[in-house]
Structure 1
Amino acid sequence: MIRTGQEYRDSIRDGRRIWVNGERVNDVTTHPQFKPLVDIRARIFDMQHEEAHRDIMTEEQDGERNALGSALPRTQDDWWAKRRATDHMLNEIGGVVTRVGDETVGEMWSLFDGQDVLNEVDPQFSKNIETHIHRVLREDPFHVSANTDPKGDRSKAPQDQDPDMLLHVVKETDAGIIVRGAKYETAAAYANQAFTKPTIANWGNNALSDYAVGFICDLGSENLKFICRTGFAGRAPEKDYPLANKFDEVDTIVIFDNVLIPWENVLFYRHTKAATFIRATLHRYSAFAFVQRNLKVADMMIGAALFNARQTGLDKQQAVQEKLAQLAVYREGINAHLTAAIALGERSPAGLMMPNQSLLYTGRVLACSQLHEMMHIARELCGGQICVTPDAASFEHPDTKPWLEKYYSINEEWVADDRRKLLAFARDLLNSDYAGHRLTFQLFAQSPPFAHLAAVYRNFDWDGPLAFVKDAAGLSDRVMGGRTLSAGDSAISSWFSTDIGTHAKRAAAE
Structure 2
Amino acid sequence: MLRTGQQYRDSLRDGRQVWMNGERIPDVTVHPMLKPIVDIRARLYDMQHDPAHADILTYRSESGEPSSIPLKLPRTQADWQAKRVATDHVLNEIGGIVTRVGDETIGEMWSLFDGQDILNQVDPRFSANIRNHVEKAILTDPFHVSANTDPKGDRSKRPQDQDPDMLLHVVKETDAGIVVRGAKYETAAAYANQAFTKPTIANWGDAELSDYAVGFICDFGSPNLKFICRTGFAGRAPIEDYPLSNRFDEVECLVIFDDVLIPWENVLFYRHTKAATFIRATLHRYSAFAFVQRNLKLADMLIGAALFNARQTGLDKQQAVQEKLAQLACYREGINAHLTAAIVTAQESPGGLLMPNQSLLMTGRVFACSQLHEMMHIARELCGGQICVTPDVAAFRDPETAPWLKKFYSINENWEAEDRRKLLAFARDLLNSDYAGHRLTFQLFAQSPPFAHLAAVYRNFNWDEPLDFVRKSAGLNERVTGKAPLMKAAE
Do these two structures clear the TM 0.5 threshold for a shared fold by scoring above it? yes
Q: 2:45 aligns to what?
A: 45
* 1:446 partner SS: coil
1:298-318 per-residue CA deviation (whole Å, 9 max, x = no partner) reads 000000000000000000000
* Partner residue, 1:494: none
Which one-letter code corresponds to 2:326 in the other structure?
Answer: A
Give the TM-score normalised by structure 2.
Answer: 0.98
1:264 positional shift: 0.2
- TM-score relative to the length of structure 1: 0.94
Q: Give the structure 2 partner of residue 97 of structure 1.
A: 98
Q: 3-state SS of the aligned residue for 1:270? A: strand
* 1:440 partnered with 2:441: yes
Any residues of structure 2 matched to 1:18-417 within 5 Å, and which? 18-61=18-61, 62-417=63-418
Q: CA RMSD in A?
A: 0.9
Please list the CA deviations of residues 437-480 of structure 1 after superposition, one character each: whole Å capped at 9, or x if unmatched.
Answer: 00000000000000000000000000111111111112221111
- How far apart in 2 are the matches of 1:421 and 1:465? 51
- Kept in 1: contact 2:464–2:483 (CA 8 A): no
Consecutive unaligned residues in structure 2, runs of 5 or more: 485-491
Maintained 8 Å contact 1:394/1:401: yes
Deviations 1:274-301 (A, max 9, x none): 1011000000000000000000000000
Task: Give 2:353's aligned amino acid.
Answer: L
Q: Which runs of 4+ in 1 moved over 3 A?
A: none
Query: 1:191 and 1:183 mapped to 2: Cα distance?
Result: 14
**Equivalent residue, structure 1, for 2:13:** 13
- Give the superposition deviation at 1:204: 1.8
Distance of aligned partners of 1:182 and 1:481 in 2 relative to their CA distance in 1, 3 Å threshold: closer
Q: Residue 158 of structure 1 contacts residue 201 of structure 1 at CA under 8 Å; is this kept in 2?
A: no
Q: Distance in 2 between matches of 1:16 and 1:202?
A: 30
**C-alpha contact (below 8 Å) 1:215/1:265 kept by paired residues:** yes
- Aligned-pair CA distance for 1:201: 3.6
Task: Quote the Cα distance in structure 2 between the aligned partners of 1:355 and 1:207.
Answer: 31
How far apart are the structure 2 equivalents of 1:265 and 1:202? 23
Task: Give 1:3's aligned residue.
Answer: 3
Aligned partners of 1:312, 1:442: CA distance in 2, in Å?
32
Give ranges in structure 1 of 5+ residues lacking alignment.
484-510
Q: CA, structure 1 residues 171+482, in 2 after alignment: closer, same or farther (shift >3 Å)?
A: closer
Change (3 A) 1:482 1:8: closer
1:480-503 deviation line (CA, Å, top 9, x unaligned): 1699xxxxxxxxxxxxxxxxxxxx
TM superposition shift of 1:109: 0.3
2:488 alignment partner in structure 1:
none
Deviations 1:59-81 (A, max 9, x none): 10121011000010000110000
Check 1:474–1:306 CA distance in 2 against 1; reply closer, same or farther (3 A cut): same
SS of aligned partner of 1:256: strand
Task: Check the 8 A contact 1:156/1:202 in 2, yes or no.
Answer: no
Hey, what's the Cα distance between the residues in 1 that align with 2:358 and 2:269?
Answer: 24
CA contact (8 A) 1:347 1:354 kept: yes
Q: CA deviation at 1:202?
A: 2.6
Counterpart amino acid of 2:395? S
The answer as to whether partners of 1:157 and 1:201 remain within 8 angstroms in 2 is no
CA distance in 2 between counterparts of 1:129 and 1:460 reads 28
Q: Measure, in 2, the Cα distance between the counterparts of 1:16 and 1:107.
A: 25
Which amino acid in 2 is paired with 1:231? G
Q: Which region of structure 1 is more displaced relative to structure 2, 195-204 or 453-462? A: 195-204
Separation in 2 of the partners of 1:478 and 1:182? Answer: 51
Q: Is the 8 A contact 1:209 1:272 kept in 2?
A: yes
Contact 1:347 1:353 in 2 (8 A): yes
Tell me how far apart the structure 1 counterparts of residues 387 and 468 of structure 2 sit (CA, whole Å): 52
Cα distance in 2, alignment partners of residues 119 and 158 from structure 1: 28
Question: How far apart in 2 are the matches of 1:90 and 1:407?
Answer: 34
SS at match of 1:221: coil
Q: CA deviation at 1:120?
A: 1.3
* Structure 2 CA distance for aligned equivalents of residues 481 and 415 of structure 1: 65
Separation (CA, whole Å) in 1 of partners of 2:67 and 2:479: 53
**What's 1:504 paired with?**
none
Q: After superposition, what is the alpha-carbon deviation per residue over 1:235-283, rounded to whole angstroms, capped at 9, x for unaligned?
A: 1111000000000000010000000000000000000111011000000
User: Do 2:467 and 2:482's aligned partners in 1 also have CA atoms closer than 8 Å?
Assistant: no
